[in-house]
Structure 1
Amino acid sequence: MTAHDVARALPGIEELRDHCRGLAVLDAVLSPERDARFYSFDAHWSEGVQLASMRDGMGSGFAIVFSDEGAYVGGFDHASPMSPWARTDAPAVWPGVLDTVPEVFRRYVTEPALRDETGVPAVTCCLWQRAADPGWRTGVIVFPEQADGDPDGAEVLFELLVDRSPDAYAQWASEHYETPVDVAAVRHVLAGGPVTPEIVAALNPDADPVGLAGDFARIGPPA
């Protein structure tokens, strides 16, 4: 799977935004320690702009910027042969990944929060959808020869955005957090249901609903 396949599998912008919110809520409940979470959502990232993100703790992850113009997705797999730092000469983004990003999203290509300290965009795959676009778009890319089926890291990076089922998240979270995960509670959260103390307890009996209030305020309610 590549970014081209992900573009065909992702839902519309609003559905994706709500799903990302749900993932962030679930991770906040299952992992009170922020540094240990994979999925986050900031409803107040900047004026009129929201940010969904994933960090795997090993240098890979993605950022999704939601704005009035649409949505911009940048993903980075540190082990990908398409990494800017996999090249033998000066670090550079793989040809085609960012070349045709529309002007309305260009500022996110160079956004300091979405690149490394040298200014090189930390990206191996990129997708976008303008508000008026009928679907997700990617650049025209010639993938590396002799690469495996996930040359740009898209399959691993976006697995829970492509498979948005409660069972997929519950299986992933039970392995990552090493604890059983209540599928019914996951389904409730991903459907946009209220995160009551009962739902919190079903997901994580040790979590403090009051202590999570700040996290939930940052994530914001479903649209």
Structure 2
Amino acid sequence: MHHTHGPHDAPDLHGLLARLPDRPALRDRCRGLAMLEAILSPDWGGRYYSFDSQWGEGEEMASMRDGEGDDWFLVLSAAGAYARGFDHTAPNAGPALTAEVPAAFRAYVDEPAFGAEDGAPLATVCFWREPGDAAWRAPSAAPTGGVELFDLLAAEDLAEAYAVWAEEYYECEDALDRAAIAHVLALRPLTAAVVAALNPDVEPAELAEDIAGIGYPTA
């Protein structure tokens, strides 16, 4: 899916940030999405959304990779949450965009995993939230693109939005079970019935490693 970029991108970011839930709820959304992906795509390389609950010391990381050069990373820690996205069709705004990022998140700005192969920062949009913040914040400089990469995280009805997206992405012949999707997004322990409703080719026992890595509740 390709998007055009123009002067309307900046208000889109503020609209996105207004719709995003707070940090704990966003973390839950990211874990639920990652679990759904683990069920629908046993092959890790084919997954769009993932979550690493043991990314670093006291740090968790949610991520999205579309396989076409676009991605985003969201780091959650005691310092708060820092998100950065990269739209490969927009000019890299790297250093200029991240100049206002609070000191608590500077390490993530320079994180090699979020940059180009030579380690140079790659970013076309970023935003953050510290523990004392009442809302998500972003640089005063207008982003150049990639705001729409986060759209699903802000969906009002996430189960329906994810189902519609996944049916297209995974080329499902039948509609995905909305109740099973809602069950996973609510972070309720997986049952054989829920897993089978989403992907009959996956056994619940095969998901143990993903459940541990995502930090998905088991009881």
> Same fold, TM exceeding 0.5?
yes
The sequence identity of aligned pairs, in percent, is: 48
Gaps (5+ residues) in structure 2?
Answer: 1-8
Q: Structure 1 residue runs of 4+, over 2 Å off?
A: 1-5, 92-95
Give SS of 1:74's match: strand
**In structure 1, what is the equivalent of residue 74 of structure 2?**
64
Deviation of 1:160 after TM superposition, in Å, equals: 0.9
Give SS of 2:68's match: coil
Q: Structure 1, residues 173-202: CA drift from partner, whole Å, max 9, x if none?
A: 000001131111111111121111111001
Equivalents in 1 of 2:110, 2:72: separation in Å?
15
Give SS of 1:17's match: helix
Equivalents in 2 of 1:32, 1:221: separation in Å?
16
- Map 1:41-80 onto structure 2 (within 5 A): 41-80=51-90
Matched letter for residue 121 of structure 1 = P
Matched letter for residue 123 of structure 1 = A
Equivalents in 2 of 1:178, 1:221: separation in Å?
26
Contact 1:94-1:124 within 8 A present in 2 as well: no
Deviation of 1:221 after TM superposition, in Å, equals: 2.6
Deviation of 1:94 after TM superposition, in Å, equals: 6.8
In structure 2, do the counterparts of structure 1 residues 201 and 164 end up closer, same or farther at CA, with 3 Å as the change threshold? farther
Give SS of 1:63's match: strand
Deviation of 1:164 after TM superposition, in Å, equals: 4.8
Gaps (5+ residues) in structure 1?
Answer: 85-91, 144-150
1:187 alignment partner, one of 178, 182, 185: 182
- Map 1:52-131 onto structure 2 (within 5 A): 52-80=62-90, 83-84=91-92, 93=94, 95=96, 97-131=97-131
1:134 aligns with 2:134: yes
**In structure 1, what is the equivalent of residue 3 of structure 2?**
none
Of 189-198 and 43-52, more deviation after overlay is shown by: 189-198
1:218 alignment partner, one of 179, 202, 213: 213
In structure 2, do the counterparts of structure 1 residues 154 and 142 end up closer, same or farther at CA, with 3 Å as the change threshold? closer
RMSD: 1.4
Q: Structure 1, residues 113-153: CA drift from partner, whole Å, max 9, x if none?
A: 1111222212100000001111100001246xxxxxxx412
TM-score, normalised relative to structure 2: 0.89
Matched letter for residue 93 of structure 1 = G
Contact 1:3-1:152 within 8 A present in 2 as well: no
Give SS of 2:81's match: strand
- Map 1:200-215 onto structure 2 (within 5 A): 200-215=195-210
TM-score, normalised relative to structure 1: 0.87
**In structure 2, what is the equivalent of residue 9 of structure 1?**
19
**In structure 2, what is the equivalent of residue 177 of structure 1?**
170
Contact 2:35-2:216 within 8 A present in 1 as well: no
Give SS of 2:15's match: helix
Equivalents in 2 of 1:221, 1:28: separation in Å?
11
| Higher helix content, 1 or 2 | 2
In structure 2, do the counterparts of structure 1 residues 158 and 25 end up closer, same or farther at CA, with 3 Å as the change threshold? same
Give SS of 1:128's match: strand
**In structure 2, what is the equivalent of residue 160 of structure 1?**
152
Equivalents in 1 of 2:87, 2:187: separation in Å?
30
Contact 2:81-2:128 within 8 A present in 1 as well: yes
In structure 2, do the counterparts of structure 1 residues 199 and 36 end up closer, same or farther at CA, with 3 Å as the change threshold? same
Matched letter for residue 133 of structure 2 = D
